[in-house]
């Protein structure tokens, strides 16, 4: 399915303090270093158009939210969405334009995250391209290390084999994340009342969505 062109804000739209390049980030990513407070920190990998973080950060001002998006214009679009949603006033959402993988590998302290969210990661359908998937053996170990005991990993996709592979890899590599807890489909009350744009798209085209959450138990 083709993607629509993405709207980026005018250069004069102020994204300072909201949108960061990797080089501008502190050495360690934490609530203290990014938000100067100790609220629980949730990270979304591959934020796309930023719907999840814009909705969630306004609904839950007691937590901090960091989105990491590898395509610069999507990161910019997401950051502008946060600002329009009130992120500057609430002060709990920021966006990084960059690759999540090295950040999780080197710059997040073990047991420091409240939640990791991965929604509709690129499927990389061909078998020979599977190693490019953002959820892979290494990233599962990294997420599991980074999440605190009692913290969560959310993984949603509309690609059944990606879902099955991920559930299997977590059982093998990160059993401390506990058992897969199915997440329910929620009734949409308006046109943007979906977890993400890709959930909206899948449901509009009647494509099944597979949703799971893990809660780290040790």
Q: Which residues bind ligand SAM (CB under 6 A)?
A: 45-48, 68-71, 74, 99-101, 119-122, 134, 196-198
**Nearest distance from C-beta of residue 43 to ligand SAM, angstroms:** 10
The residue (of 149 and 160) whose beta carbon lies closer to ligand SAM is 160
Query: 181 in helix, strand or coil?
Result: strand
Is 69 labelled a binding residue? yes
**Nearest distance from C-beta of residue 17 to ligand SAM, angstroms:** 21
Asked if residues 118 and 134 have their Cβ atoms less than 8 Å apart, the reply is yes
**Nearest distance from C-beta of residue 26 to ligand SAM, angstroms:** 18
Is 14 labelled a binding residue? no
Is 126 labelled a binding residue? yes
The residue (of 22 and 149) whose beta carbon lies closer to ligand SAM is 22
Annotated active-site positions, please?
Answer: 122
- CA–CA separation, 91 and 93 (whole Å): 6
User: What pairing do the DSSP bridges indicate for beta strands 113-119 and 147-157?
Assistant: parallel
The residue (of 197 and 211) whose beta carbon lies closer to ligand SAM is 197
Q: Which residues contact 147 (CB under 8 A, 6 or more apart)?
A: 111, 113, 114, 115, 116, 153, 177, 216
Q: Which residues contact 2 (CB under 8 A, 6 or more apart)?
A: none
- Which residues participate in the annotated binding site for S-adenosyl-L-methionine? 44, 69, 99, 122
Give the residue ranges of the annotated binding site: 44, 69, 99, 122, 126, 158, 196-199
Q: Binding site for substrate, residues? A: 126, 158, 196-199
């Amino acid at each position: 399915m083709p993607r629509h062109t993405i709207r980026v804000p005018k250069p004069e739209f102020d994204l300072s303090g909201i949108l960061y390049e990797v080089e501008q980030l502190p050495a360690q990513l934490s609530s203290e270093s990014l938000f100067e407070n100790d609220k629980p920190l949730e990270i979304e990998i591959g934020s796309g158009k930023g719907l999840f973080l814009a909705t969630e950060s306004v609904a839950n001002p007691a937590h901090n939210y960091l989105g990491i998006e590898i395509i610069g214009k999507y990161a910019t679009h997401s950051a502008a969405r946060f600002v329009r949603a009130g992120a500057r006033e609430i002060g709990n959402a920021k966006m990084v334009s960059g690759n999540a993988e090295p950040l999780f590998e080197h710059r997040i302290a073990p047991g420091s995250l409240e939640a990791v969210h991965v929604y509709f990661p690129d499927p990389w359908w061909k078998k020979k391209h599977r190693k490019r998937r953002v959820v892979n053996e290494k990233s599962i170990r990294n997420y599991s290390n980074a999440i605190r005991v009692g913290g969560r990993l959310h993984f949603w996709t509309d690609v059944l084999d990606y879902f099955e592979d991920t559930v299997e890899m977590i059982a093998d590599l990160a059993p401390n994340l506990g058992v897969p807890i199915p997440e329910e489909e929620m009734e949409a009350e308006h046109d943007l009342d979906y977890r993400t744009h890709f959930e909206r798209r899948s449901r509009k085209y009647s494509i099944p969505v597979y949703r799971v959450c893990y809660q780290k138990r040790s």
